[in-house]
Amino acid sequence: MGMSVTISAATEKDAEQILKLQFLCYQSEAELYGDYSIEPLTQPLDSLKAELAGGTVLVARLGDEVVASVRAAVDADGTARINKLIVHPRMRRHGLGGRLLDAIESRVAADAGAKSFQLFTGHRSEHNLRLYRKHGYQLVSTERVDERLSLVTLAKGSSTSAFVASA
């Protein structure tokens, strides 16, 4: 009999597992863009602990193992900035990323009054872009970072039209 994946709030005890998972998950992004100095691969543990203390962080567990995670912080205007949605490579393509995205949106709407949501990904990250579009996110802007990377910002919610209009 298999175990089911559960989603819950992360605690400081999860920090090391999240950081290791983040390092594993962002290898494919680093390879895609030819840049292994990206922030998710170099983030120190203290910085992650500060994010745990100052925002909303959810984890998905298979037994005691953290197999996925996502973070969000809500601005004063009620916009939740969602980031670092990660799913262990062996757990991908089973809907876990979408479940986490739905869970973080519900959590920050209920707990922090978020009215809209915004996130970003790299322009070559087709799987990420497909997931976000499937969950109602619309293109807001594309910003060229360097010759290898452009960041694509997507949004949804009550002020999505304002985001899109300002793009």
**Partners of 74 in beta bridges:** 80
The tens digit of pLDDT for each residue in 113-150 reads 999 999 999 999 999 999 999 999 999 999 998 888 88
CATH of the domain at 18: 3.40.630.30
**Partners of 121 in beta bridges:** 152
Q: Please tell me the distance from the alpha carbon of residue 151 to that of residue 144, in angstroms, as a whole number.
A: 6
Does 129 fall in a domain?
A: no
Tell me how many domains the chain contains. Answer: 1
Give the global pTM. 0.90
Give the chain's radius of gyration (CA, Å).
Answer: 16
Does 55 fall in a domain?
A: yes
7 neighbors 107 (Cβ within 8 angstroms): no
Question: Which residues form the domain of 108?
Answer: 5-119
Q: Mean per-residue pLDDT for 63-82?
A: 95
Does 161 fall in a domain?
A: no
- In the numeric block, which tokens belong to residue 70? 């996502």
